[in-house]
């Protein structure tokens, strides 16, 4: 029991010696990555315990080891936060896309058959249209012309294509 008490006292004394280093490291990390400083300090304090237990004095000074452990853990935390943020953004985009898809499908009721076919092709592209978009490095801006070429290739007349596009534009503008 005395050994545990002595170890605890040694750890406490070491912590008090490096407490400024812990705060300094967290503030420097925060200057670079601009995150939640309180969270950084909390993480750094838990890292101190692990660093204290794993330090090998033959390899480095404790302060060097502690600073490296803190930076490593804060990097891991920041990477995870960024990954979570990106995943949440992707989920929001997926929800928005689902809303948009539902919105356009509801508009189908107001379109004639040719215009409905175009809307269906946009949301469920035939293989040849997919190939054409890939070959042409198609962007959202050039998709309309690629779709026109595809429709001409499968036998649609220019007049039918123009009327269908115009009808889609009118229905979207009205809603």
What would the pLDDT profile of 63-96 be if each residue is shown by its tens digit? 999 999 999 999 999 888 878 777 776 565 555 5
pTM for the model: 0.50
Please tell me the predicted confidence (pLDDT) of residue 157.
92
pLDDT tier at 139 (50, 70, 90 boundaries)?
low
Residue 43's nearest CA partner among 57, 54, 29 is: 29
**pLDDT by residue (tens digit) across 3-39?**
577 778 889 999 999 999 999 999 999 888 888 899 9
Q: Which residues contact 133 (CB under 8 A, 6 or more apart)?
A: 125, 143, 146
Residue 102 has pLDDT above 90, yes or no: no
Q: Which residues contact 51 (CB under 8 A, 6 or more apart)?
A: 62, 65, 66, 69, 70
Domain-by-domain residue ranges, the chain? Answer: 2-88, 111-174
- If one looks up domain 2-88 in CATH, what number appears? 1.10.1740
Q: Kindly state the percentage of the chain with pLDDT values over 70.
A: 83
d(CA 8, CA 52): 11
Q: Which two tokens stand for residue 101?
A: 């898809």
């Amino acid at each position: 029991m005395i050994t545990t008490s002595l170890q605890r006292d040694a750890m406490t004394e070491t912590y008090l010696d490096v407490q400024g280093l812990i705060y300094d490291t967290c503030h420097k990390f925060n200057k670079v990555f601009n995150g939640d400083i309180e969270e950084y300090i909390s993480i750094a304090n838990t890292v101190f315990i692990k660093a204290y237990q794993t330090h090998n004095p033959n390899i480095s000074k404790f302060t060097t080891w502690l600073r490296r452990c803190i930076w490593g853990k804060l990097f891991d935390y920041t990477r995870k936060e960024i990954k979570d943020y990106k995943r949440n953004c992707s989920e929001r985009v997926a929800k928005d896309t689902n809303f948009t898809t539902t919105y356009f499908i509801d508009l189908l009721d107001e379109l004639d058959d040719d215009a409905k076919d175009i809307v269906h092709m946009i949301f469920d592209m035939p293989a040849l249209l997919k190939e054409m978009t890939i070959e042409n490095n198609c962007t959202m801006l050039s998709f309309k012309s690629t779709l026109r070429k595809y429709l001409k290739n499968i036998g649609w007349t220019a007049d039918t294509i123009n009327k269908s596009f115009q009808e889609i534009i009118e229905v979207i503008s009205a809603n």
